[in-house]
Amino acid sequence: MERIISDRALLQVRDLNISFTTAKGDFPAVRGISFDVGRNSIVGLVGESGCGKSVTALAIMRLLPGNARLSGTIDFSGRNIVAMHEEEIRKLRGSEISMIFQEPLTSLNPLWKVGRQIDENLKMHTELKGDDRFQSVVDIMRDVGLPDPERLYHKYPHELSGGMRQRIAIAIAVACRPALIIADEPTTALDVTIQAQILQLLKDINREKGSSIIFISHNFGIIREICTSICVMYAGHLVEIAPTEKLFCEPRHPYTIGLMKAIPKTDSKGKELYDIPGKVPSITDTLPGCPFEPRCEYAFERCKRELPQFEVLGEQHESRCFLAGELR
Amino acid sequence: MSGIILEVRDLVKHYPLRRTKLLESPGRVRALNGVSFAIARGESFGLVGESGCGKTTAGHTIIKLLEPTDGKIFFEGKDITTIKGERLKDLRRKIQIIFQDTAGSLNPRKTVKWILSEPLRAQGVRNRLEIERTIRESLELVDLDESFLDRYPHELSGGQKQRIGILGALILEPEFIIADEPVSALDVSIQAQILNLMKNLQKRLSLTYLFISHDLGVVHFFCDRIAVMYLGEIVEMAEATELYVNPCHPYTQSLLSAIPGENAASQRIILQGDAPDPTNPPQGCPFHPRCFKRMEICTHTRPRSVEVSKGHSVGCHLYP
């Protein structure tokens, strides 16, 4: 499958397959996905639980468990991450690519003061020493909006609120000014008003420091808020790629259309909410055709037998559906 | 809609904290600080707020899983604040609860059939055949079939678990259901299925819902009236549409503006700081440290709730 490839893309994922080997056999979690992350962009990976979005993120960080098998290429500014040696990838992680996880309470070390956890990243990847390094940590903490950083430096994670912990996790991620930040559901564990603060912070980081962000979420509202373009995933496949407003105004895959209608909106009050019948196929199911066929209201005979290819609908807008051109 | 089915008056719930110093009086978490509302029969009443605002405590206090510190609860006109024993058991037949975390509320070692029969047995139904028949007949309510009866919870998907959770609450044919974040653990497409199911059940079985959630989009879709809670108090209460069109309290305004995707980012009101510690709530209006319309009076005087229009009340000094 050929895709318009932009030369300036920071990250190019090509035909990525990931499967997990277990005692019960091989199970494919990600099935041949390709996408680009441009410089200075925020790309959303959206889909329901089990669609493969987090596994994709872990593959880019090369953090997959030992039983994962991987094929395809992940090209990060000219270097293929899939083929890198462990030494190389360790230098890359935290300095050029870094990650923010969903639940800061589990991703932070409970036994270390938060300042030291930020400091560790600088110690690993920079030449800074002593007071200079301390000063850098304090500056970074101030940058991510933590009040009174000199005092907070000496706190443990359990002494901070959820929003502050997530700011610490973000401080660790941005400490070395990475070119790419992967944020895996960074606001799911937070309240709405705190979520709004964190989204604003990530947007500021993108604008001021020029880091590209891959933003993973199941929430279309958040994705719309923050992303420049969106990749919709379903059952390990990429089903639609589009610039944000394009996707929301003219979704062209039945799954995307269904999800948009299923979200309660201000004008849906008093009406029956649209629901997509059935449920997401299990990772153990093998469907020869389109993965969404069993739940799709537009499905016809061909969808059962054959996996549709991407149809290019416009600039950077592609949908993997036989009817993509006709759906409105 | 006819008559009030549930009324809560000045409900207070404080959790005592462990004493940390010998001569100091122990602190208290003020989870509910004088909450009052009334729910009409057949209505869906929404309680929204962020974590720690006391919405779950309110639900648990009404169904008597917790004893209130002060205040009164009336169900069908009768005071149920202090009932015990047989009368409490009778009450539990009429009020049931659906929990957020169904994976945690279904016993992993028991089959679906056993889980569904438990409420019946607890209410003294002894006849095995009768229990079996009731369960089989009720499965259709939540669009499941008999093949599910011998499965264990881990064999069910998230949506199916929540259907079993709902059926467990419905099996005693209650009149009033407390739904505590029933869809927040579910994916969007499944969430829509469950919300539609609950709406249809309400029509078929003439249920009344107390719907507790942090998701304003969901609450607005589901509920007729909404109360917004902050730090153990109801700060604003109105009909769902009125609340969305004309939010009066600054906290409601910021909550509504913070729903991602519904508003342009430029109109967003971003609150500073975190919600305050409920063991040590601020003086005056509980919201004043984060409020963007704060005045001098807010720092020392607690606002009273006033009616700005019919059925729309707000507790804020901007509305004297």
Per-domain residue ranges for chain B? 4-315
Decide the pairing of beta strands A97-100 and A180-184: parallel
pLDDT band at residue B265 under the 50/70/90 scheme: low
Would the CB atoms of A196 and B50 count as touching at under 8 Å? no
Closest CA to B141 of B96, B186, B198, B190: B198
Interface mutation vs chain B, best among A266, A276, A292, most B CBs within 10 Å: A266
Beta bridge partners of B309: B312
Please state whether A94 falls in left (phi above 0), alpha (psi between -120 and 50) or beta. left
Q: How far apart are CA B230 and CA B224, in angstroms?
A: 20
Helix (H), strand (E) at residue A135: helix A130-143
Sign of CA dihedral A121, A125, A131, A137: negative
Query: How far B17 CA lies from chain A's nearest CA (Å)?
Result: 17
Q: How far apart are CA B199 and CA B177, in angstroms?
A: 12
B191-206 residue pLDDT tens: 888 999 999 999 999 9
Helix then strand count (H, E) for chain A reads 12, 12
Give the pLDDT score at A2: 41
Query: CB neighbours of A186 closer than 8 A, spacing ≥ 6?
Result: A100, A101, A102, A166, A169, A170, A198, A202, A215
Q: Are A314 and A246 in contact (CB under 8 A)?
A: yes
Q: A220 to chain B: which residues are within 8 Å by CB?
A: 188, 261
Helix (H), strand (E) at residue B29: strand B28-40
Beta bridge partners of B32: B13
Would the CB atoms of A192 and B50 count as touching at under 8 Å? yes
Closest CA to B33 of B60, B15, B51: B15
B6-43 residue pLDDT tens: 999 999 999 888 777 777 777 788 889 999 999 999 99
**Mean pLDDT across B76-102:** 89
Query: How far B81 CA lies from chain A's nearest CA (Å)?
Result: 32
Give the pLDDT score at B251: 94
Tell me the one-letter amino acid at A324: A
Q: Mark which residues 204-223 of B lie under 8 Å from A by CB.
A: 214, 216-218, 220-222
B192 touches chain A (CB under 8 A): yes
Cα B167 to chain centroid, rounded = 18
Give the pLDDT score at B105: 85
Q: How far is CA B265 from CA A71, A196, A224, A226, in A?
A: 39, 10, 10, 9
Tokens of B145: 């079939």
Q: What is the DSSP letter of B190?
A: H
Query: How far B129 CA lies from chain A's nearest CA (Å)?
Result: 32
Helix (H), strand (E) at residue B208: strand B208-213
B150 touches chain A (CB under 8 A): no
Q: Which has more confidence, B263 or B90?
A: B90
A·B CB contacts under 8 A? 107
Q: How far is CA A88 from CA A62, A82, A181, A258, B5, in A?
A: 11, 11, 18, 43, 67
Query: Is a pLDDT exceeding 90 seen at residue B275?
Result: no
Would the CB atoms of A221 and B217 count as touching at under 8 Å? yes
Would the CB atoms of A276 and B192 count as touching at under 8 Å? yes
User: So what's the architecture of B4-315 in CATH?
Assistant: 3-Layer(aba) Sandwich (3.40)
Q: Where are the alpha helices (DSSP H) in chain B?
A: 55-62, 85-94, 102-105, 112-122, 128-139, 158-170, 188-205, 216-222, 240-245, 250-257
Query: How far B123 CA lies from chain A's nearest CA (Å)?
Result: 35
B238 touches chain A (CB under 8 A): no
Tokens of A101: 């996880």
Q: What are the two backbone dihedrals, phi and then psi, of residue A60, each rounded to the nearest 5 degrees?
A: -65, -35
> pLDDT in tens for each of the 328 residues of chain A?
444 444 568 999 999 999 999 888 889 999 999 999 999 999 999 988 889 999 999 999 999 999 999 999 999 998 999 999 999 999 999 899 999 988 888 889 999 999 999 999 999 999 999 999 999 999 999 989 888 899 999 999 999 988 899 999 999 999 999 999 999 999 887 888 888 888 999 999 999 999 999 999 988 888 988 999 999 999 999 999 999 999 998 999 999 999 888 888 777 777 888 888 887 888 787 788 999 999 999 999 999 999 999 999 988 899 999 998 887 6
Give the pLDDT score at B2: 59
Give the pLDDT score at B266: 64
Q: How far apart are CA B294 and CA B300, in angstroms?
A: 11
A38-55 residue pLDDT tens: 999 999 999 888 899 999
Q: How far apart are CA A28 and CA A286, in angstroms?
A: 9
Query: Is a pLDDT exceeding 50 seen at residue B305?
Result: yes
Decide the pairing of beta strands B95-98 and A317-319: unpaired
Q: Are A230 and A46 in contact (CB under 8 A)?
A: yes
Give the pLDDT score at A276: 87
Q: Which has more confidence, B320 or B171?
A: B171
